[in-house]
Amino acid sequence: MRHSLGLLLFFSPIFLLAQGIDLGTINYAPIFVANLSAPYNESSGLVFLNDTIYSINDSGNTPAVHALLSSDGSHVHSWTVSNAQNQDWEAMTQNSAHLFIADVGNNMGTRTALDIYVIPKEELITTNTVLSSQKQSFKLAGQPTTGLQMNAHNFDCEALFYWQDSLHLFTKNWENLWTKHYVLPTIWQDTLVVSAQDSFDVNGLITDAAIDSALHQMYLLGYKKEPGGLYSAFMYRFASQSTSFFDGDYQRIELGSTLTLAQTEGICVSGAAQGFISGEKIISILTIAPKLHQFDFSTLTSGPTLNAPPIYFHEHILYIPKDLLKDFELIDTSGRNVIDWQLGKNHQDLGHLKPGSYFLIGPNYRRTWVKTS
């Protein structure tokens, strides 16, 4: 969704489960495919099916699904979705039988109920103009009914994928730059109230998500405001076969400036370690056309950057080579250093620290450790 960004960054208590090893940050430049035409000015969610990409636009647009060629980004066809409203369509996913469109955007903080539209995939073939839909509504547990400020709260959502018979939703946390993970069934009655399963410090705004079922990897797409005022795009990939996802080893991938990529809002997987990213049109001092880019991480999966550093936590002990101590620090959620290293040792006793979340920070390294007792 196009908006004027004003970010407030601070730490606050976060619901958190165990996390894997931070494999560091790398840079990767997605492959340019095409500048997109007008039907994709605000492309906010993607699905890949039979060499065709299906896209939706966010708020202010008609409730429609658009098809484009993955080879060159050219427009193929559009369908109107019946019995649907586009309050703020922000993500789309699929299973073998259905498309799921997530009307979940809430930048303004005024929505207390969010919606998922379920569409039979066979109608992409059998109908030329109108797709039928079933609307299902839900609420996020703990959301205040009033008092949320525009672009300054943690109850906005833009990311969704289907995995193991469930829908997985990830929030866009303006207030603290984390993301929360919610799990929904594919079909339900009445209005669900769902609670977060876990969360993760992404240091940015998550705008879409996808699952690579071949490699059991999850991708989160987003962007972040840099100190100079411009925005850069990034992805996280998590290696996990469980539904918690954040317990897997992970890596941050810096994609480059939104001046090149446009406002990165949509992602889909087209094969093992491969997929597409759509960028929404930017209208500001400069006008940036909507864009389609391709990514291929197959050359990265066996590279040295995916070898975990020789650092790990076990119970209340941090094991870290003594020659690395000078480059690392352990901080709490307020950013305060909490320990003076015992030099000359390959392990550090953390038993005296209070229960809570801590961050081990080093060159291209960031890992969260949770002390429970």
Q: Are residues 226 and 180 in the same domain?
A: yes
Instruction: Give CA–CA dist 350/231, Å, rounded.
Output: 37
Pairing of strands 134-140, 191-194: parallel
pLDDT digits (tens, 9 = 90+) for 6-64: 333 333 334 444 467 777 889 999 999 999 999 999 999 999 999 999 999 999 999 99
List 295's β-bridge partners, or say none. 275
pLDDT digits (tens, 9 = 90+) for 86-134: 999 999 999 999 999 999 999 999 999 999 999 999 999 999 999 999 9
Q: Are residues 365 and 248 in the same domain?
A: no
Structural domain tally of the chain? 2
Exposed, middle or buried: residue 133 (CB in 10 Å: 0-12, 13-18, 19+)? buried
2 falls within a domain: no
Q: Are residues 240 and 360 in the same domain?
A: no
Q: Are residues 232 and 358 in the same domain?
A: no
pTM of this prediction?
0.79
Give 249-252 contacts, CB < 8 A, sequence gap 24+. 249/20, 249/21, 249/22, 249/23, 249/308, 250/19, 250/20, 250/21, 250/22, 250/23, 251/22, 251/23, 251/24, 251/25, 251/26, 251/305, 251/306, 252/24, 252/25, 252/26
Q: Are residues 213 and 254 in the same domain?
A: yes
pLDDT digits (tens, 9 = 90+) for 57-92: 999 999 999 999 999 999 999 999 999 999 999 999
16 falls within a domain: no
Q: Are residues 154 and 182 in the same domain?
A: yes
3 falls within a domain: no
Q: What is the average per-residue pLDDT within 322-333? A: 92
Ramachandran assignment for 295, one of left (phi > 0), alpha (psi -120 to 50 degrees), beta (any other): beta
pLDDT in the model for residue 30: 96
pLDDT in the model for residue 93: 98
Q: Are residues 318 and 301 in the same domain?
A: no
Q: What is the average per-residue pLDDT within 174-191? A: 96
Q: Are residues 232 and 333 in the same domain?
A: no
Give the end of a domain, one of 249, 276, 306: 306
Q: Are residues 268 and 328 in the same domain?
A: no
Give the end of a domain, one of 249, 283, 306: 306
Looking up residue 297, the CATH number of its domain turns out to be 2.120.10
Give the end of a domain, one of 306, 329, 352: 306
Q: Are residues 276 and 352 in the same domain?
A: no
Q: What is the average per-residue pLDDT within 294-301? A: 85
Q: Quick one: pLDDT band at residue 243, thresholds 50, 70, 90?
A: low
5 falls within a domain: no
Q: Are residues 259 and 326 in the same domain?
A: no
276 falls within a domain: yes
Q: Are residues 324 and 289 in the same domain?
A: no
- The answer to whether residue 348 scores a pLDDT higher than 90 is yes
Domain that holds residue 316: 312-371
Instruction: Give CA–CA dist 188/114, Å, rounded.
Output: 14
pLDDT in the model for residue 14: 41
Instruction: Give CA–CA dist 45/109, Å, rounded.
Output: 21
Question: Residue for token digits 């699929």?
Answer: 94
45 falls within a domain: yes
1 falls within a domain: no
Q: What is the average per-residue pLDDT within 346-355? A: 92
7 falls within a domain: no
Minimum mean pLDDT among 138-147, 260-269, 363-372: which range? Answer: 363-372
